[in-house]
Amino acid sequence: LQYNGPHGIYSADVRTERVAGGGSREAYQLGIGGGIAYVAGTVAFLRPVTDSFGIVEVGKLPGVRVYHSAQEIGRTDAQGRIFLSNLGSYQANRVAIDDRDIPIEYLIGEKEINVSPPLRSGSLIRFEVSRMQAVTGHLRVKVGAQSRPAEYLDLSVTVNGKAEIFPTGKGGEFYLENLKPGSYRVGF
């Protein structure tokens, strides 16, 4: 009997032999096999490592399905990580995530990464996901005593020391992503 669990391989074996004179002899054997891996500051207990291994990191998102060579390996833990104990060295290992498990307000850089690690090495396989927060509204310009929409202009706003250009549309509509709450200076 053998069970291949996420943190090791567990086995039990019972053998019975008949011996001369009508008797029997029984032998029992229990086995536990596993490995300890260290990658990117994280220690994990996993199945035996016979080649290369890695840790998949999907931001800090828990419950994201991870695939290795089109087979589901498991889901990320509470820190958004899962260990892979069977990466083939010096060959392309296709590691992918299921984007259906990523909340809609997150941007995904890549859904699939090919990694080719050296023999008996650990790899950090990081999928970039970041929370997106959109800001929309209408801009108006005050000219004298009148206020009118700031239509069809390319405006500039400085965010974290970097100038971001954004256009305005009909009625002064605008759209910006990942703008933190606060006051900003807008220029032409």
pLDDT digits (tens, 9 = 90+) for 56-98: 999 999 999 999 999 999 999 999 999 888 899 999 999 999 9
Using the 8-state DSSP alphabet, how is residue 116 labeled? -
pLDDT of residue 163: 87
Q: What is the mean pLDDT of residues 154-160?
A: 86
pLDDT of residue 49: 83
Residue 21 pLDDT greater than 90, yes or no: no
Q: What is the pLDDT of residues 118-135, one digit of tens each?
A: 998 989 999 999 888 888
pLDDT of residue 12: 94
CA-CA distances (angstroms) from residue 104 to 54, 57, 72? 27, 18, 22
pLDDT over 70 for what percent of the chain? 100
Q: Which of 37-41, 124-128, 146-150 is least confident?
A: 37-41
Residue 188 pLDDT greater than 80, yes or no: no
Strand partners, 166: 155
Quote the CA–CA distance of 158 and 181 in Å, as a whole number: 13
Using the 8-state DSSP alphabet, how is residue 22 labeled? S
Residue 6 pLDDT greater than 80, yes or no: no
Quote the CA–CA distance of 84 and 112 in Å, as a whole number: 15
* 168 or 5: which leads in pLDDT: 168
pLDDT of residue 134: 84
